[in-house]
């Protein structure tokens, strides 16, 4: 099979048409996924560069690398770029776009042109944001709190707000496409209970994108209007309420974190199933947990506001609800672990990322319990404890999920294998570097180091130095895959249709798939994760 | 190779290649538009939420601001939009029955109603401008303070009412403009004969969008114009 | 722990111990959960690593297990919630009789005013063992008053008062941080809380130049602004008599009843039409823009002093009896 692929170049989605027009005007979901891959990788490195500067500044207690105003812009733009231009699109727009039609046996998403529009909206938003960065940047924190953002900041708040507003519509359209596709375009025999858990999780993600993002959009619109037209909606000197902004902002921004983690959980399910060669333990519970997370995720927003001046009773309610939303996530972790019992486990790069994900997401999730706890949150709110918590989930969880997924489906996407040795090394570097960067921050936070501090008291220095050291290792771990993925597109081993012996419709078509995904429309007569019927590959494919 | 044999036989040029059949395409379009309208509800919802909170806090100012709007034009606009929804609904029916000319007329009427609405809205905004009720540096609600001596009007709070008034009606007007644009396209393609009883999905989902914009106005009208229209005495 | 490399914040208030106890419990719980899960994964990864000839066993799931590992964590979570809620309730309920310190935050400094009169900038001197209640507002953006050693934090908002309280247990000097990002010098908006033995505190109080108590300066401002014209001490005034109203319910003309707390007094000065007392006309002039935050604090303190109840320990303008130092 491999020789046939080399000698007679089969037509697939990458070589069907060449030329920039065929890419920029494509409606093929797989090509759009690659367009997104390139764009979000660019923004990942922009956001990462800001992070590096932040960590360099924090090597010393004094503010001696950049000015205070510059530092404030660095952390604000690090947050906005990473959240709106990297994390939120990452897995859905790259892996989701590529895989959702394949996994359900469809030829494309329901609305291919809207899919392309969604990418263009992302690019327009990105260009506006880059312009904002190079013409001065924004210093409101990623959270745009009023009245600072509306009446006091002297930076490009309006431009940043507009960019994020437009990026939000990109996200909404992706979600809309997925929901309609999953409802209406499943292949014959692909019932809801036969769907891969990847699809369930992306469905839940899309619901959040659809219902939550518009609230952020209108909130940022009000901030932009207030700043541009001197309104007083959030201005306390004119009877406005700054807390109203926080409620509206967090109503989206809390569900947003589930937009970022659910797709990583989606990847986790697929990778764990494949490399334990087993159906995921408790399929129904894992599927329902995704939905539960999406629903409950909308009910907990004010746990970001326990010391903001909300009433005692509101705080009690939101604290209880925040504990409820932790339960489905815990269920998933237990189910993935249970899947490993009596499995047949291989330690490929995707599986290493999967192990890392469980470990780091568990730690991040447990620290969420600390923050949901009213008595503790008063002390650690707005400190490095919170920063460590969300980086454990978003980087230790979501980014590792993204990288694991990229490695797992790379053969399908590119038709090539990445070099396994380098893949494992990068995974290890990411894991070690990540822990060294962020674990000290839990300690810093409980000790009282506030976040968004350009300068800090000297007793915090040792932990900050450790953290910065970790970030350099992490950076290397991130650069490596970019290098070897590019290398593999030319020199990597040619991939078979199903190099991992994985279940799922995407593995039943060629690597890379033809433009319309399947030579013959599939008809599904089997359950998901039918590993008892799929022969394991003789050896896990390795480089050389 | 790419299309299943059944689909190739029965479809016309409007069936997109990635759908199995026309019914799937229609269902997808319909579900897609309903979901989009759900996002629009959340979008307007944020502003409605801000409105509700401030109305509770500053009722007097909201009532006074509401009275300063011209009820006559607001009512006319409401009637105009309701009529436009009628023409839209009749248009969908005309498409279902294959009556091309009638469809085109109804779509054109809808566009006309849309322009009438926007024109009246522009006039109302202009009135607000001359009365110095536009929030910002030139805002001045002395006239309201004068007109309602029995309640105490705080001009800053009054500005919040008008900020929300312009934000909400402005966002609504933007959606109307987009709606009119969509209907221009629909009218053109209807005139070209693209819509048949077998395929009129764009009319249907365009109609859904228009009805939604109409419904938003039906909420905006009482919330903005009818806060307290009891006769003063 | 280590001198230049501390790993735990010092405990210097009555509340700190409770917060730390809960934190340690959570640390232990988390460590246990991590150990349990990581060990299981390690064991499974080793025992069930891929071996030729051995197939994976397809196991659908176990409802019993699912329910167990949902209910037990839920139970533990509820326990944590309750424990945290009790601490939080305590944190948000200043005890009666606490001394009051008015705090005004502005970009980028803390201005503090003791009731007895002394003002401080970025410094707060307090005696050990005394309940201290902070009444805080901001002149511009949102700030946050954070003393890690006391385990207290409260956002400080423009346009209203928020409160926090503590009772210091250990003499020393502790960090005060602004912990809500507020612009350029957010990280420079720091200071020190100095906790002193009671005798030293008294000495410090009388040592500095005082301009009279906060309530006294409030009273003179009250006269200056012409308030007694309408707010007379009888029932003939065009405005309500303010003696004794603090802390009591007030009937409003629209039927609502509100408690006359600091926020109510403040709002009534800055935006009088918001709440009109039943039986009175809405004729009070608006003082927004005419009085600054510190002046507002003085007026509020004065009006409070017109109440007989022992708020703040100081009553009226006449000299108050010496503050008590409650036993630990």
Please tell me the distance from the alpha carbon of residue C130 to that of residue C325, in angstroms, as a whole number: 6
Q: What is the pLDDT of residue C214?
A: 87
Does the beta carbon of C135 lie under 8 angstroms from any beta carbon of chain A?
A: no
- Measured between beta carbons, which residues in chain B are less than 8 angstroms from residue C282? 151-152
Q: What is the pLDDT of residue C107?
A: 92
CATH architecture of C214-305: Orthogonal Bundle (1.10)
Q: What percent of chain B has pLDDT over 90?
A: 78
> Rounded mean pLDDT of C68-82?
96
Asked whether the beta carbons of residue A366 and residue C33 sit closer than 8 angstroms, the reply is yes
Asked whether the beta carbons of residue B152 and residue C271 sit closer than 8 angstroms, the reply is no
Asked whether the beta carbons of residue C271 and residue B151 sit closer than 8 angstroms, the reply is no
- Measured between beta carbons, which residues in chain B are less than 8 angstroms from residue C273? 60, 151-154
Residue of chain B minimizing CA distance to C273: B152
φ/ψ (deg, to 5) at C110: -105, 130
Q: What is the pLDDT of residue A519?
A: 87
Q: What is the pLDDT of residue A425?
A: 97
Question: Closest approach of chain C CAs to the CA of B158, in angstroms?
Answer: 12
Q: What is the pLDDT of residue C273?
A: 81
- Best of A232, A307, A530 to mutate (most C CBs within 10 Å, chain C): A307
Does the beta carbon of A453 lie under 8 angstroms from any beta carbon of chain C?
A: yes
Is the link from the previous residue into A147 a cis peptide, with omega within 30 of 0?
yes
Asked whether the beta carbons of residue A231 and residue B42 sit closer than 8 angstroms, the reply is no
Asked whether the beta carbons of residue A215 and residue B167 sit closer than 8 angstroms, the reply is no
Out of C5, C49, C148, the one facing A462 most closely (by C-beta) is: C5
| pLDDT band at B11; cut points 50, 70, 90 | low
- Specify the residue for token string 């706890």: A373
Instruction: Tell me which residues of chain A, numbers 238 to 297, contact chain C at a CB-CB cutoff of 8 Å.
Output: 239, 241-243, 276-279, 281-285
On whether the CB atoms of residues B89 and B207 are closer than 8 A, the answer is yes
Tell me: pLDDT of C319 over 50: no
Residue of chain A minimizing CA distance to B23: A184
Does the beta carbon of A153 lie under 8 angstroms from any beta carbon of chain C?
A: yes
Out of B58, B137, B171, the one facing A239 most closely (by C-beta) is: B58
Virtual CA dihedral for C261, C264, C266, C267, nearest 10 degrees?
170
> Rounded mean pLDDT of C128-134?
96
Q: What is the pLDDT of residue B15?
A: 81
Read off the pLDDT of residues A11-53 as tens digits, 9 standing for 90 and up.
Answer: 899 999 899 999 999 999 999 999 999 999 999 999 999 999 9
What chains are in contact with B, requiring at least 3 Cβ pairs below 8 Å?
A, C
Whole-prediction pTM value? 0.91
Mean pLDDT across chain B, nearest whole number? 91
Higher pLDDT, residue A355 or B156: A355
Does the beta carbon of C5 lie under 8 angstroms from any beta carbon of chain A?
A: yes
Out of A241, A312, A330, the one facing C89 most closely (by C-beta) is: A312
Mean pLDDT across chain C, nearest whole number? 88
Please tell me the distance from the alpha carbon of residue A99 to that of residue A198, in angstroms, as a whole number: 9
> Rounded mean pLDDT of B105-128?
96
- Measured between beta carbons, which residues in chain B are less than 8 angstroms from residue A248? 46, 49-50
Closest CA to C166 of C21, C14, C313: C14
Does the beta carbon of B155 lie under 8 angstroms from any beta carbon of chain C?
A: no
Residue A503 burial by CB count (10 A; 0-12/13-18/19+): exposed, middle or buried?
Answer: buried
Taking the alpha carbons at both ends of chain A, their separation in whole angstroms is 18
Read off the pLDDT of residues B63-108 as tens digits, 9 standing for 90 and up.
Answer: 999 999 999 999 999 999 999 999 999 999 999 999 999 999 999 9
Please tell me the distance from the alpha carbon of residue A499 to that of residue A272, in angstroms, as a whole number: 16
- Measured between beta carbons, which residues in chain C are less than 8 angstroms from residue A279? 58-60
Please tell me the distance from the alpha carbon of residue A96 to that of residue A94, in angstroms, as a whole number: 6
Please tell me the distance from the alpha carbon of residue A106 to that of residue C83, in angstroms, as a whole number: 51
Asked whether the beta carbons of residue B39 and residue A213 sit closer than 8 angstroms, the reply is yes
What H or E segment, with its residue span, contains residue A48?
helix A29-57
Enumerate the CATH 2.60.40.420 domain ranges in chain C, comma separated.
99-207
- Measured between beta carbons, which residues in chain A are less than 8 angstroms from residue C175? 448, 457
Q: Which CATH superfamily is domain B29-225 in?
A: Cytochrome c oxidase, subunit III, four-helix bundle (1.20.120.80)
Lowest mean pLDDT segment, chosen from B123-132, C157-166, C180-189, C248-257 = C248-257
What chain A holds in terms of domains, given with CATH numbers, is 2-8+23-533 (1.20.210.10)
Closest CA to A240 of B120, C194, B54, B214: B54
Does the beta carbon of A462 lie under 8 angstroms from any beta carbon of chain C?
A: yes
Asked whether the beta carbons of residue C107 and residue A446 sit closer than 8 angstroms, the reply is no
Does the beta carbon of C253 lie under 8 angstroms from any beta carbon of chain B?
A: no
**Chain centre distance of CA C154:** 5
Question: Closest approach of chain B CAs to the CA of C249, in angstroms?
Answer: 19
Tell me: pLDDT of C326 over 50: no
Tell me the residue length of chain A.
Answer: 544
- Measured between beta carbons, which residues in chain B are less than 8 angstroms from residue C289? none
Q: What is the pLDDT of residue B7?
A: 40
Please tell me the distance from the alpha carbon of residue C4 to that of residue C182, in angstroms, as a whole number: 29
Which parts of chain A register pLDDT below 50?
Answer: 1-7, 541-544
Which ipTM was obtained for this model? 0.93
Q: What percent of chain C has pLDDT over 70?
A: 91
Beta strands in chain C (DSSP E): 99-106, 109-114, 119-121, 123-127, 131-138, 143-147, 152-156, 162-167, 172-178, 191-196, 249-251, 257-259
Per CATH, the number for C99-207 is 2.60.40.420
Instruction: Tell me which residues of chain A, numbers 313 to 342, contact chain C at a CB-CB cutoff of 8 Å.
Output: 315-316, 319-320, 323-324, 326-327, 330-331, 333-335, 337-338, 340-342
Virtual CA dihedral for A145, B41, B78, A232, nearest 10 degrees?
0
- Measured between beta carbons, which residues in chain A are less than 8 angstroms from residue B39? 172, 176, 210-211, 213-214
Does the beta carbon of B152 lie under 8 angstroms from any beta carbon of chain C?
A: yes
Out of A211, A213, A233, the one facing B163 most closely (by C-beta) is: A233
- Best of C274, C277, C288 to mutate (most B CBs within 10 Å, chain B): C274
- Measured between beta carbons, which residues in chain A are less than 8 angstroms from residue B19? 185
């Amino acid at each position: 099979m491999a020789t046939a692929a080399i000698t007679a170049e089969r037509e697939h989605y990458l070589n069907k048409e060449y030329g920039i027009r065929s890419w920029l005007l494509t409606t093929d979901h797989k090509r759009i996924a690659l367009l997104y891959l390139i764009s979000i990788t660019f923004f990942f490195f922009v956001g990462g560069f800001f992070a590096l500067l932040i960590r360099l500044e924090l090597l010393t207690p004094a503010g001696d690398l950049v000015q205070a105003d510059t530092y404030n812009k660095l952390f604000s733009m690090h947050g906005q770029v990473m959240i709106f231009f990297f994390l939120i699109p990452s897995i859905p727009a790259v892996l989701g776009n590529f895989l959702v039609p394949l996994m359900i046996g469809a030829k494309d998403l329901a609305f291919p042109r809207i899919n392309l529009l969604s990418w263009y909206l992302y690019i327009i938003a990105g260009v506006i944001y880059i312009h904002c960065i190079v013409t001065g940047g924004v210093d409101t924190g990623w959270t745009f709190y009023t009245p600072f953002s509306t009446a006091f900041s002297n930076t490009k708040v309006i431009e940043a707000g507009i960019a994020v507003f437009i990026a939000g519509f990109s996200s909404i359209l992706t979600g809309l496409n997925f929901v309609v596709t999953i409802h209406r375009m499943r292949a014959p025999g692909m019932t809801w209970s036969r769907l891969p858990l990847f699809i369930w999780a992306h469905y839940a993600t899309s619901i959040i994108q659809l219902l939550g993002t518009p609230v952020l959009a209108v909130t940022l619109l009000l901030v932009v209007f207030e700043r541009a037209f001197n309104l007083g909606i959030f201005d306390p000197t004119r009877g406005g309420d700054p807390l109203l902004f926080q409620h509206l902002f967090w109503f989206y921004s809390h569900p947003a974190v589930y937009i970022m983690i659910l797709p990583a959980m989606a990847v986790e399910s697929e990778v764990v199933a494949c490399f334990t060669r087993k159906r995921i333990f408790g399929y129904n519970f894992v599927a329902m947990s995704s939905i539960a997370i999406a629903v409950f995720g909308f009910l907990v927003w004010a746990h970001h506001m326990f010391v903001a001046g909300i009433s005692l009773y509101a705080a009690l309610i939101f604290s209880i609800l925040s504990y409820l939303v932790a339960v489905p996530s815990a269920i998933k972790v237990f189910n993935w672990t249970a899947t490993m019992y009596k499995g047949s486990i291989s330690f490929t790069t995707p599986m290493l990322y999967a192990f890392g994900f469980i470990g780091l997401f568990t730690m991040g999730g447990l620290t969420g319990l600390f923050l949901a706890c009213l008595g503790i949150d008063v002390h650690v709110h707005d400190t490095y404890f919170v920063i460590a918590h969300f980086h454990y989930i978003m980087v230790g969880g979501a980014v590792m999920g993204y990288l694991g997924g990229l490695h797992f489906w790379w053969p399908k996407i590119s038709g090539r294998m990445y070099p396994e040795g380098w893949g494992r090394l990068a995974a290890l570097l990411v894991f070690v570097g990540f822990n060294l960067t962020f674990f000290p921050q839990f300690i810093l936070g409980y000790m009282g180091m506030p976040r968004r501090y350009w300068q800090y008291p000297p007793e915090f220095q040792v932990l900050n130095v450790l953290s910065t050291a970790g970030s350099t290792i992490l950076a290397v771990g991130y650069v490596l895959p970019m290098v070897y993925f590019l290398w593999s597109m030319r020199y990597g081993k040619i991939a078979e249709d199903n190099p991992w012996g994985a279940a799922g419709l995407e593995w039943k078509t060629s690597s890379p798939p033809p433009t319309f995904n399947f030579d013959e429309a599939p008809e599904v007569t089997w359950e998901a994760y039918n590993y008892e019927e799929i022969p394991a590959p003789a050896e896990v494919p390795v480089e050389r | 190779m790419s299309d299943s044999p059944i689909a190739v036989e029965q479809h016309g040029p409007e069936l997109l290649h990635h759908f199995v059949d026309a019914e799937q395409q229609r269902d997808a379009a319909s579900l897609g538009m309903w979901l989009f309208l759900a996002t629009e509800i959340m979008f307007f919802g944020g502003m409605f939420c801000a409105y509700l909170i401030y109305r509770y806090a500053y009722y007097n100012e909201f009532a006074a601001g509401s009275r300063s709007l011209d009820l006559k034009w607001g009512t006319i606009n409401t009637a105009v939009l309701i009529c436009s929804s009628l023409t839209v609904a009749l248009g969908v029916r005309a498409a279902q029955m294959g009556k091309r000319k009638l469809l085109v007329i109804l779509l054109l009427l809808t566009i006309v109603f849309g322009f009438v609405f926007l024109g009246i809205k522009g006039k109302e905004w202009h009135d607000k401008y001359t009365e110095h009720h536009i929030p910002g540096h030139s805002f001045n609600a002395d006239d309201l303070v004068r007109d309602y001596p029995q309640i105490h009007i705080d001009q800053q709070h009054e500005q919040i009412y008008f900020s929300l008034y312009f934000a909400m009606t402005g966002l609504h007007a933007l959606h109307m403009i987009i709606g009119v644009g969509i209907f221009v396209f629909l009218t053109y393609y209807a005139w070209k004969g693209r819509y048949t009883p077998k395929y009129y999905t764009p009319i249907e989902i365009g109609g859904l969008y228009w009805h939604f914009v109409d419904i938003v106005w039906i909420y905006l009208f009482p919330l903005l114009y009818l806060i307290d229209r009891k006769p003063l005495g | 722990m280590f001198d230049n490399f501390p790993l735990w914040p010092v405990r210097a208030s009555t509340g700190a111990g409770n917060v730390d106890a809960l934190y340690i419990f959570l640390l232990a719980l988390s460590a246990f959960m991590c150990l349990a899960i990581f060990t299981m994964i390690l064991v499974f990864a080793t025992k069930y690593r891929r071996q030729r000839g051995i197939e994976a066993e397809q196991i659908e799931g176990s409802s019993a297990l699912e329910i167990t590992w949902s209910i037990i964590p839920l139970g533990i979570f509820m326990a944590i919630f309750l424990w945290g809620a009790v601490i939080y309730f305590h944190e948000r309920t200043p005890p009666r009789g606490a001394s009051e310190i008015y705090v005004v935050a502005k970009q980028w400094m803390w201005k503090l005013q003791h009731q007895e009169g002394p003002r401080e900038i970025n410094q707060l001197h307090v005696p050990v063992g005394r309940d201290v209640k902070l009444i805080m507002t901001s002149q511009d953006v949102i700030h946050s008053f954070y003393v890690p050693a006391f385990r207290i934090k409260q956002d400080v908002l423009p346009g209203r008062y928020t409160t926090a309280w503590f009772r210091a247990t250990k003499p020393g000097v502790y960090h005060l941080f602004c912990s809500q990002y507020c612009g350029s010098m957010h990280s420079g908006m720091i200071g020190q809380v100095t906790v002193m033995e009671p005798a030293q505190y008294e000495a410090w109080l009388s040592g500095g130049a005082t301009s009279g108590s906060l309530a006294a300066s409030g009273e003179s401002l009250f006269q200056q602004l012409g308030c007694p014209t309408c707010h007379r001490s009888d029932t003939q005034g065009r405005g309500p008599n303010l003696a004794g109203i603090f802390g009591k319910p007030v009937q409003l003309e629209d039927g609502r009843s509100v408690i006359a707390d600091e926020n109510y007094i403040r709002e009534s000065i800055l935006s009088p039409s918001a709440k009109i007392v039943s039986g009175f006309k809405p004729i009070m002039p608006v003082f927004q823009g005419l009085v600054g935050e510190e002046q507002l604090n003085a007026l509020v303190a004065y009006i409070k002093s017109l109440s007989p109840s022992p708020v703040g320990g100081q009553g009226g303008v006449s000299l108050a009896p010496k503050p008590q130092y409650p036993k630990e």
